[in-house]
Amino acid sequence: MMEFLASLEGSALATWIRESSSIWAYPTVLFLHTIGMATLVGVNAGIDLRILGFAPELPLAPMIRFFPVMWAAFAINALSGTALLIADATTKLTNPVFYVKIVFIALALINLWLVRTRVVRDPLIDKSPVSTNAKILAVTSLIFWLGAITAGRLMAYLGPVSGLQ
């Protein structure tokens, strides 16, 4: 396992991202990751807060237009995150916090799909009060994204499991 991770980390792309002095290497990849996350989580949080009753004068149905933006932001995050991951594969992929982050992201994406299909696409969404189930989805969405972001930040401070190296 460690040989595979070392080979990923030793690839030309990983070495360039990690060691290049070019602004187009690590700084740009990290910037793209930050912009993707801010867009995805920010827009998602706005929709969640609207479901929870903030800005009730804004109709929910037109917010369906934001979902392609969120999926594009997720794509940017997935690509930039993969680049950051391979640049430091032996450390990140032996860190249990990384897997906690991935679980939170998976839960948040499933939740996002559920909000889209069960809440925002509901033809009666703006004609009746928001259901308790929709509010539960909004709260869990906020929790999942907060968990993913927190785990991502903790990766810098909580190291890999020593037995895996």
Per DSSP, the three-state class of 23 is coil
Q: With cut-offs at 50, 70 and 90, classify the pLDDT of residue 165.
A: very low
- Distance between CA atoms of residues 40 and 160, nearest Å: 28
**Dmax of the chain from CA atoms?**
58
Answer for the pair 105, 70: CB distance below 8 angstroms, yes or no.
no
pLDDT at position 100, please? 97
Give 49's contacts (C-beta < 8 A, 6+ positions apart): 55, 138
pLDDT the model gives residue 164: 46
Instruction: With a cut of 70, say whether residue 161 has pLDDT above it.
Output: no
Q: Are 101 and 151 in contact (CB under 8 A)?
A: yes
At 18-61, the pLDDT tens digits run 999 999 999 999 999 999 999 999 999 999 999 999 999 999 99
Least confident of 26-35, 120-129, 155-164: 155-164
pLDDT tens track for 81-114: 999 999 999 999 999 999 999 999 999 999 999 9
CA distance 161 to 91: 9
User: CB-based burial of residue 84 (10 Å sphere; 0-12 exposed, 13-18 middle, 19+ buried)?
Assistant: buried
Query: CA 39, 43, 45 angle in degrees (round to 5)?
Result: 120
